[in-house]
């Protein structure tokens, strides 16, 4: 067990690169991307702009889809400093999704015992200098890289890098804050450069961050749940409720499978009863993508008519 980079059980013991076929099938070409941007529903866009201080602490601005054509929006991403996320690829781009699921099944087959019961995808188009802050995902992830180059930093999933108290808060949607981050964590990172045609996966919950390497990047981030990950997410939710009531719940990595399953079942009842209402307020939007302005982020001047 000593080579595992995480305290959580699961088939993936450390970050690992696999081949995929999505680039060869033409999904990352300009014409295909412009067309998908044109038709993608505006409510499925997340557009972020991250800034960092000298201690590596992040601040976030968020954008609206705005009225640019797909072609112009693509150009704004290439010129700017934007991170554009198209949620719901399962329905938003079914051809890409079918091909990605085929590749996913081949990757899954290399991990004995791994069985996803639900998959979802987000297509990420990001500017040459975009960076994604330190965070964890409450799911397994396969990151299919399609275009450009990006550097992935993957950190150990121990209490020092991934405190369960913070995980509970994220799983129970009590904060938009990610995990606490310190520059000293960099000594512990597994660093991997992704080229088009590489798919990266890492242990369940492993904290990570991303730096684009001076090129416009396209990736499909596929997250998946297995029964064990569902049980553990449910246990983290239940622990969040117990903690909010003054309890001091045990770490989930010390719980047996029946204990995790019982806490997952409890989490369903607690959610039905309305425990831990999401405290994440709707984001105020700060900008919309525009060509020829700093970072590709144009000011919003009052209520914008998106037909312009």
Other Cβ atoms closer than 10 A to 128: 17
Shortest gap between Cβ of 208 and Fe ion (angstroms)? Answer: 6
Name the 3-class secondary structure at 105.
Answer: helix
Contacts of 81 (CB under 8 A, 6+ apart): 49, 127, 129, 130, 295, 296, 297
The answer to whether the CB of 112 falls within 8 A of the CB of 103 is no
DSSP state of 253: G
Q: From the CB of 19, what's the least distance to Fe ion, in Å?
A: 21
Rule CB under 5 A: say whether 137 interacts with Fe ion.
yes
For residue 247, what are its two tokens?
Answer: 């309890």
Q: Please give the residues from 85 up to 114 whose contact with Fe ion meets the rule CB under 5 A.
A: none
Interacting stretch for Fe ion, rule CB under 5 A, among 74-82, 130-138, 146-154, 236-244? Answer: 130-138
Beta-bridged to residue 51, according to DSSP, are 59
User: Which window, 40-48, 64-72, 136-144, 179-187, contacts Fe ion (CB under 5 A)?
Assistant: 136-144
CB of 136 to Fe ion, least distance (A): 7
Smallest separation (angstroms) from Fe ion to the CB of 39: 26
Query: What are the two backbone dihedrals, phi and then psi, of residue 85, each rounded to the nearest 5 degrees?
Result: -120, 120
Retrieve residue 47's tokens: 């557009």
Q: How far is the CB of 300 from Fe ion (least distance, A)?
A: 27
Q: Which of 265, 213, 277 is nearest to 241 (CA)?
A: 277
Query: What would the two tokens of residue 4 be?
Result: 């595992």
Residues binding Fe ion: number (CB under 5 A): 1
The nearer residue to Fe ion, 138 or 213, going by C-beta atoms, is 138
Q: Which stretch binds Fe ion (CB under 5 A): 79-87, 108-116, 135-143, 272-280?
A: 135-143
Q: Which is nearer to Fe ion, 63 or 207 (CB)?
A: 207
Q: Which helix (H) or strand (E) holds 102?
A: helix 94-108
DSSP for residue 208 = E
Interface segment toward Fe ion; rule CB under 5 A; list 38-46, 132-140, 234-242, 283-291: 132-140
Contact window for Fe ion (CB under 5 A) among 18-26, 56-64, 65-73, 131-139: 131-139
Closest distance of CB 76 from Fe ion, Å: 23
Residue 119: CB minimum distance to Fe ion, A: 15
Instruction: Select 66 or 157, whichever has its Cβ closest to Fe ion.
Output: 157
Which of helix, strand or coil describes residue 129?
coil
φ, ψ of residue 244 in degrees (nearest 5): -65, -20
Residue numbers 267-286 binding Fe ion by CB under 5 A: none
Listed residue (163, 69, 82, 71) closest to 130, CA to CA: 82
Q: Smallest distance, Å, CB 146 to Fe ion?
A: 16
Sign of CA dihedral 146, 43, 224, 116: negative
Residue 52, classed as helix, strand or coil, is strand
Give the nearest residue (CB) to Fe ion: 137
- Nearest to Fe ion of 90, 137 (CB atom): 137
- Please, which of residues 24-83 interact with Fe ion by CB under 5 A? none
Query: Which parts of this chain interact with Fe ion (CB under 5 A)?
Result: 137
């Amino acid at each position: 067990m000593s080579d595992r980079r995480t305290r959580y059980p699961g088939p993936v013991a450390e970050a690992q690169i696999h081949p995929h076929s999505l680039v060869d099938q033409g999904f990352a070409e300009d014409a295909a991307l412009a067309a998908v941007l044109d038709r993608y529903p505006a409510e499925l866009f997340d557009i972020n702009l991250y800034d960092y201080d000298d201690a590596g602490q992040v601040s976030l601005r968020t954008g609206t889809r705005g009225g640019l054509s797909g072609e112009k929006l693509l150009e704004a991403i290439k010129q700017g400093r934007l991170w554009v996320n198209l949620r719901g690829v399962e329905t938003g781009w079914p051809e890409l999704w079918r091909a990605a699921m085929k590749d996913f099944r081949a990757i899954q087959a290399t991990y004995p015992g791994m069985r996803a019961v639900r998959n979802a995808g987000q297509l990420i188009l990001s500017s040459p200098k975009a960076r994604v802050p330190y965070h964890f995902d409450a799911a397994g992830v396969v990151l299919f890289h399609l275009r450009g180059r990006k550097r992935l930093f993957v950190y150990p999933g121990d209490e020092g890098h991934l405190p369960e108290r913070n995980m509970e808060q994220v799983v129970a949607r009590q904060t938009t804050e990610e995990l606490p981050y310190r520059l000293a964590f960099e000594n512990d990172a597994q660093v991997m450069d992704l080229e088009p045609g590489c798919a990266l996966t890492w242990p369940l919950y492993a904290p990570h961050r991303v730096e684009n390497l001076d090129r416009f990047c396209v990736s499909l981030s596929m997250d998946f749940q297995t029964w064990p990950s569902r049980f553990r997410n449910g246990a983290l939710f239940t622990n969040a409720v117990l903690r909010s009531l003054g309890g001091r719940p045990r770490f989930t990595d010390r719980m047996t499978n029946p204990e995790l399953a019982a806490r997952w079942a409890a989490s369903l009842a607690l959610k039905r009863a309305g425990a831990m209402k999401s405290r994440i307020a709707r984001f105020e939007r700060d900008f919309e993508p525009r060509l020829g302005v700093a970072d590709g982020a144009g000011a919003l001047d009052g209520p914008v008519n998106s037909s312009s």
